[in-house]
Amino acid sequence: MKPQLTRSPSKAASMFLGTQEKCTTCSKTVYPIEKDAGVHALSNVCHVDVERTSKRKPGEVLQPHEPSVVRRAVNHFLQKEGDIMVIDVRSVPSDFHARYKAQERTYYYRLLSGQESLSTFERDRAWHVPEELNLQTMQEACKVLVGHHDFSSFRAAGCQAKSPIRTLDELHVTESVSVPYFPSFVEREQCNISVQDSPNNNGEELTESCQQFGIRRGHRCLVVKARSRSFLYHQVRLLVGVLKCVGTGQITVADVKCILNARSVTAASPMAPACGLYLGHVKYDFN
Protein backbone atom coordinates (compact mmCIF):
# COMPACT_ATOMS: atom_id res chain seq x y z
CA MET A 1 0.00 0.00 0.00
CA LYS A 2 1.44 3.36 -1.01
CA PRO A 3 1.88 5.65 1.99
CA GLN A 4 -0.04 8.87 2.24
CA LEU A 5 2.13 11.90 1.59
CA THR A 6 2.17 14.88 3.89
CA ARG A 7 4.09 18.12 4.39
CA SER A 8 3.53 18.13 8.14
CA PRO A 9 6.08 16.51 10.50
CA SER A 10 3.29 16.21 13.08
CA LYS A 11 1.12 14.22 10.68
CA ALA A 12 4.04 12.08 9.56
CA ALA A 13 4.94 11.27 13.19
CA SER A 14 1.31 10.47 13.99
CA MET A 15 1.05 8.12 11.01
CA PHE A 16 4.15 6.27 12.15
CA LEU A 17 3.11 6.07 15.81
CA GLY A 18 -0.57 5.39 15.16
CA THR A 19 -1.61 8.18 17.54
CA GLN A 20 -2.23 11.90 17.21
CA GLU A 21 0.96 13.60 18.34
CA LYS A 22 1.87 17.29 18.29
CA CYS A 23 5.27 18.51 17.16
CA THR A 24 6.52 21.58 19.02
CA THR A 25 9.08 23.54 17.01
CA CYS A 26 11.97 25.66 18.18
CA SER A 27 11.00 28.68 16.08
CA LYS A 28 7.64 30.32 15.54
CA THR A 29 9.22 32.23 12.66
CA VAL A 30 9.49 29.27 10.34
CA TYR A 31 6.66 26.90 11.18
CA PRO A 32 3.68 26.87 11.46
CA ILE A 33 2.83 30.61 11.52
CA GLU A 34 1.10 31.23 8.19
CA LYS A 35 1.65 34.99 8.18
CA ASP A 36 5.39 34.31 8.00
CA ALA A 37 5.01 32.26 4.84
CA GLY A 38 8.02 32.58 2.58
CA VAL A 39 10.80 32.16 5.14
CA HIS A 40 13.06 29.12 5.08
CA ALA A 41 14.82 26.75 7.45
CA LEU A 42 18.16 25.09 6.81
CA SER A 43 17.66 23.37 10.14
CA ASN A 44 14.63 23.40 12.44
CA VAL A 45 14.11 21.40 15.62
CA CYS A 46 10.92 19.97 17.05
CA HIS A 47 10.05 17.65 19.91
CA VAL A 48 7.33 15.02 20.26
CA ASP A 49 6.25 13.55 23.61
CA VAL A 50 5.65 9.84 23.03
CA GLU A 51 4.81 6.90 25.25
CA ARG A 52 5.15 3.66 23.33
CA THR A 53 2.58 1.07 24.41
CA SER A 54 2.01 -2.54 23.41
CA LYS A 55 -0.76 -3.31 20.91
CA ARG A 56 -0.94 -6.92 22.12
CA LYS A 57 -1.06 -6.06 25.81
CA PRO A 58 -2.98 -2.80 26.32
CA GLY A 59 -1.43 -0.62 29.01
CA GLU A 60 2.02 -2.22 28.79
CA VAL A 61 4.70 0.45 28.24
CA LEU A 62 7.48 -0.55 25.87
CA GLN A 63 10.98 0.77 25.36
CA PRO A 64 11.15 3.79 23.03
CA HIS A 65 11.93 3.28 19.36
CA GLU A 66 15.56 3.64 18.37
CA PRO A 67 16.23 7.14 16.93
CA SER A 68 17.34 5.67 13.60
CA VAL A 69 14.04 3.81 13.30
CA VAL A 70 12.06 7.00 13.96
CA ARG A 71 14.06 8.91 11.39
CA ARG A 72 13.55 6.34 8.64
CA ALA A 73 9.86 5.89 9.43
CA VAL A 74 8.96 9.59 9.54
CA ASN A 75 10.91 10.27 6.34
CA HIS A 76 9.00 7.38 4.77
CA PHE A 77 5.78 9.37 5.24
CA LEU A 78 7.46 12.59 4.16
CA GLN A 79 8.87 11.03 1.00
CA LYS A 80 8.68 12.93 -2.26
CA GLU A 81 8.15 16.16 -0.33
CA GLY A 82 11.41 17.82 -1.28
CA ASP A 83 11.11 20.72 1.16
CA ILE A 84 10.94 18.73 4.42
CA MET A 85 13.24 15.97 5.62
CA VAL A 86 14.24 14.64 9.05
CA ILE A 87 18.04 14.65 9.27
CA ASP A 88 18.59 13.71 12.93
CA VAL A 89 16.64 12.15 15.82
CA ARG A 90 17.62 11.64 19.44
CA SER A 91 15.98 10.79 22.76
CA VAL A 92 15.83 13.70 25.21
CA PRO A 93 14.77 14.17 28.85
CA SER A 94 11.07 14.54 29.58
CA ASP A 95 11.50 18.23 30.45
CA PHE A 96 13.07 19.08 27.09
CA HIS A 97 11.28 21.76 25.07
CA ALA A 98 12.37 22.61 21.53
CA ARG A 99 11.54 26.28 21.93
CA TYR A 100 12.25 27.15 25.56
CA LYS A 101 15.39 25.03 25.99
CA ALA A 102 17.15 26.57 22.98
CA GLN A 103 20.34 28.32 24.07
CA GLU A 104 21.04 30.09 20.83
CA ARG A 105 19.46 30.71 17.43
CA THR A 106 21.29 31.68 14.27
CA TYR A 107 19.54 33.26 11.29
CA TYR A 108 20.89 34.10 7.86
CA TYR A 109 19.54 36.61 5.38
CA ARG A 110 20.56 36.64 1.70
CA LEU A 111 20.62 39.77 -0.43
CA LEU A 112 21.44 39.76 -4.14
CA SER A 113 22.66 43.09 -5.47
CA GLY A 114 22.55 43.83 -9.19
CA GLN A 115 20.38 45.23 -11.97
CA GLU A 116 19.63 41.93 -13.71
CA SER A 117 16.45 40.10 -12.66
CA LEU A 118 16.78 36.97 -10.56
CA SER A 119 17.01 33.55 -12.13
CA THR A 120 14.44 30.83 -11.51
CA PHE A 121 16.87 29.26 -9.04
CA GLU A 122 17.01 32.40 -6.89
CA ARG A 123 13.42 33.61 -7.05
CA ASP A 124 11.81 33.65 -3.59
CA ARG A 125 15.13 32.63 -2.02
CA ALA A 126 16.78 36.03 -1.65
CA TRP A 127 15.98 39.75 -1.54
CA HIS A 128 16.83 41.30 -4.88
CA VAL A 129 18.28 44.77 -4.38
CA PRO A 130 18.97 46.48 -7.74
CA GLU A 131 21.21 49.12 -6.15
CA GLU A 132 24.86 48.59 -5.28
CA LEU A 133 25.39 47.77 -1.60
CA ASN A 134 28.32 49.19 0.38
CA LEU A 135 29.56 46.27 2.43
CA GLN A 136 31.88 48.34 4.62
CA THR A 137 29.18 50.76 5.83
CA MET A 138 26.80 47.85 6.47
CA GLN A 139 29.48 46.22 8.64
CA GLU A 140 29.89 49.49 10.58
CA ALA A 141 26.14 49.64 11.19
CA CYS A 142 26.24 46.09 12.57
CA LYS A 143 28.61 47.24 15.32
CA VAL A 144 25.99 49.74 16.52
CA LEU A 145 23.34 47.05 16.84
CA VAL A 146 25.33 44.24 18.47
CA GLY A 147 24.96 43.91 22.23
CA HIS A 148 22.35 44.29 24.97
CA HIS A 149 19.72 46.82 23.89
CA ASP A 150 16.08 47.81 23.96
CA PHE A 151 15.10 46.66 20.46
CA SER A 152 11.63 48.26 20.43
CA SER A 153 12.51 49.84 17.06
CA PHE A 154 13.02 46.32 15.69
CA ARG A 155 9.89 44.75 17.13
CA ALA A 156 6.88 44.34 14.85
CA ALA A 157 3.30 44.90 15.96
CA GLY A 158 1.82 41.72 17.37
CA CYS A 159 5.01 40.70 19.20
CA GLN A 160 4.05 38.68 22.28
CA ALA A 161 7.38 39.02 24.09
CA LYS A 162 7.06 40.56 27.55
CA SER A 163 10.18 42.67 27.12
CA PRO A 164 11.90 44.28 24.10
CA ILE A 165 15.30 43.86 25.78
CA ARG A 166 17.50 41.40 23.93
CA THR A 167 21.18 40.57 23.63
CA LEU A 168 22.29 40.36 20.02
CA ASP A 169 25.46 38.26 20.29
CA GLU A 170 26.44 38.52 16.64
CA LEU A 171 25.42 40.57 13.63
CA HIS A 172 27.61 40.90 10.59
CA VAL A 173 27.51 41.00 6.81
CA THR A 174 29.80 39.03 4.53
CA GLU A 175 30.07 38.57 0.80
CA SER A 176 29.39 35.00 -0.29
CA VAL A 177 29.49 32.89 -3.42
CA SER A 178 26.38 33.69 -5.44
CA VAL A 179 24.75 30.27 -5.66
CA PRO A 180 21.11 29.31 -4.88
CA TYR A 181 22.09 27.56 -1.64
CA PHE A 182 24.60 28.07 1.15
CA PRO A 183 27.94 26.71 -0.14
CA SER A 184 30.08 24.51 2.01
CA PHE A 185 33.46 25.63 3.31
CA VAL A 186 35.19 23.56 0.61
CA GLU A 187 33.15 25.18 -2.16
CA ARG A 188 33.91 28.67 -0.87
CA GLU A 189 37.60 27.85 -0.72
CA GLN A 190 37.56 26.44 -4.26
CA CYS A 191 35.96 29.59 -5.63
CA ASN A 192 38.62 31.73 -3.93
CA ILE A 193 41.61 29.89 -5.44
CA SER A 194 43.68 32.32 -7.47
CA VAL A 195 45.22 31.58 -10.85
CA GLN A 196 48.72 31.71 -9.36
CA ASP A 197 47.97 29.27 -6.54
CA SER A 198 46.03 26.72 -8.55
CA PRO A 199 47.65 23.59 -10.02
CA ASN A 200 48.42 23.63 -13.74
CA ASN A 201 47.56 27.34 -13.76
CA ASN A 202 43.87 26.53 -14.33
CA GLY A 203 42.41 28.55 -11.46
CA GLU A 204 40.55 30.76 -13.93
CA GLU A 205 38.70 27.73 -15.29
CA LEU A 206 37.85 26.59 -11.74
CA THR A 207 36.38 29.99 -10.82
CA GLU A 208 34.41 29.98 -14.06
CA SER A 209 32.94 26.56 -13.22
CA CYS A 210 31.83 27.89 -9.83
CA GLN A 211 29.81 30.59 -11.58
CA GLN A 212 27.97 28.69 -14.28
CA PHE A 213 25.19 26.51 -12.87
CA GLY A 214 21.96 28.45 -12.45
CA ILE A 215 23.69 31.78 -12.00
CA ARG A 216 22.90 35.08 -13.69
CA ARG A 217 26.05 37.15 -14.04
CA GLY A 218 26.18 40.49 -12.33
CA HIS A 219 24.70 39.61 -8.94
CA ARG A 220 26.64 40.18 -5.77
CA CYS A 221 25.56 38.05 -2.82
CA LEU A 222 25.68 39.45 0.72
CA VAL A 223 24.70 37.32 3.72
CA VAL A 224 23.64 38.83 7.03
CA LYS A 225 24.22 36.56 10.04
CA ALA A 226 22.30 37.23 13.28
CA ARG A 227 22.84 35.18 16.44
CA SER A 228 21.04 35.45 19.78
CA ARG A 229 19.35 33.35 22.43
CA SER A 230 16.00 34.66 21.22
CA PHE A 231 14.62 37.26 18.85
CA LEU A 232 11.63 39.55 18.85
CA TYR A 233 8.87 39.16 16.28
CA HIS A 234 10.30 40.13 12.86
CA GLN A 235 13.45 41.47 14.53
CA VAL A 236 15.87 40.01 12.00
CA ARG A 237 13.91 41.27 9.01
CA LEU A 238 13.71 44.76 10.52
CA LEU A 239 17.44 44.72 11.22
CA VAL A 240 18.16 43.71 7.62
CA GLY A 241 15.84 46.45 6.34
CA VAL A 242 17.94 49.05 8.15
CA LEU A 243 21.23 47.50 7.00
CA LYS A 244 20.04 47.52 3.41
CA CYS A 245 19.24 51.23 3.63
CA VAL A 246 22.72 51.86 5.04
CA GLY A 247 24.22 49.88 2.17
CA THR A 248 22.38 51.88 -0.47
CA GLY A 249 23.19 55.20 1.19
CA GLN A 250 19.60 56.07 2.11
CA ILE A 251 20.61 56.41 5.77
CA THR A 252 23.93 56.69 7.61
CA VAL A 253 25.50 54.68 10.40
CA ALA A 254 24.69 57.57 12.74
CA ASP A 255 21.03 57.26 11.71
CA VAL A 256 21.06 53.62 12.81
CA LYS A 257 21.99 54.67 16.34
CA CYS A 258 19.15 57.19 16.31
CA ILE A 259 16.71 54.51 15.15
CA LEU A 260 17.82 52.18 17.93
CA ASN A 261 17.49 54.91 20.56
CA ALA A 262 14.06 55.98 19.26
CA ARG A 263 12.60 52.73 20.65
CA SER A 264 9.75 52.83 18.15
CA VAL A 265 9.27 50.62 15.12
CA THR A 266 7.98 53.66 13.21
CA ALA A 267 11.55 54.97 13.19
CA ALA A 268 12.93 51.90 11.42
CA SER A 269 13.33 51.39 7.70
CA PRO A 270 10.85 49.18 5.82
CA MET A 271 11.12 45.54 6.84
CA ALA A 272 13.02 43.14 4.59
CA PRO A 273 10.82 40.61 2.75
CA ALA A 274 10.43 37.08 4.08
CA CYS A 275 12.01 35.37 1.07
CA GLY A 276 15.62 35.98 2.10
CA LEU A 277 15.37 34.78 5.70
CA TYR A 278 16.73 31.38 6.78
CA LEU A 279 16.77 29.76 10.21
CA GLY A 280 20.26 28.34 10.14
CA HIS A 281 21.00 26.62 13.42
CA VAL A 282 19.59 26.13 16.93
CA LYS A 283 21.93 25.24 19.79
CA TYR A 284 20.99 23.09 22.81
CA ASP A 285 22.77 21.64 25.81
CA PHE A 286 21.87 17.95 25.72
CA ASN A 287 24.14 17.05 28.63
Ramachandran angles phi, psi of 144, nearest 5°: -70, -35
- pLDDT > 90 fraction of the chain, expressed in percent and rounded: 41
**pTM score:** 0.74
Report residue 18's pLDDT band, with 50, 70 and 90 as the boundaries: low
Asked if 280 and 30 touch (Cβ cutoff 8 Å), the reply is: no
Element (H, E) at 134: none
- In the predicted model, is pLDDT for residue 59 greater than 70? yes
Report residue 112's pLDDT band, with 50, 70 and 90 as the boundaries: very high
Mean pLDDT, rounded, for 127-156: 97
The structural domains of the chain, with segments of one domain joined by +, span: 1-101, 104-180+215-283
Least confident piece of the model among 1-15, 236-250, 259-273: 1-15
Fill in the amino acid letter for 122.
E
- In the predicted model, is pLDDT for residue 140 greater than 80? yes
Task: Supply the pLDDT for residue 227.
Answer: 96
Per-residue pLDDT reduced to its tens digit, 166-189: 999 999 999 987 766 665 556 556
Query: Quick check: do 1-101 and 104-180+215-283 share a fold?
Result: yes
Sign of CA dihedral 188, 190, 191, 197: positive
Task: Supply the pLDDT for residue 202.
Answer: 43
Mean pLDDT, rounded, for 23-36: 54
Task: Supply the pLDDT for residue 200.
Answer: 42
| CATH architecture of the domain with residue range 104-180+215-283 | 2-Layer Sandwich (3.30)
Class assignment of domain 1-101? alpha beta
Query: Is residue 36 annotated as a catalytic residue, yes or no?
Result: yes
Tell me the residue ranges of DSSP E strands in 42-164. 46-47, 104-113, 127-129, 147-150
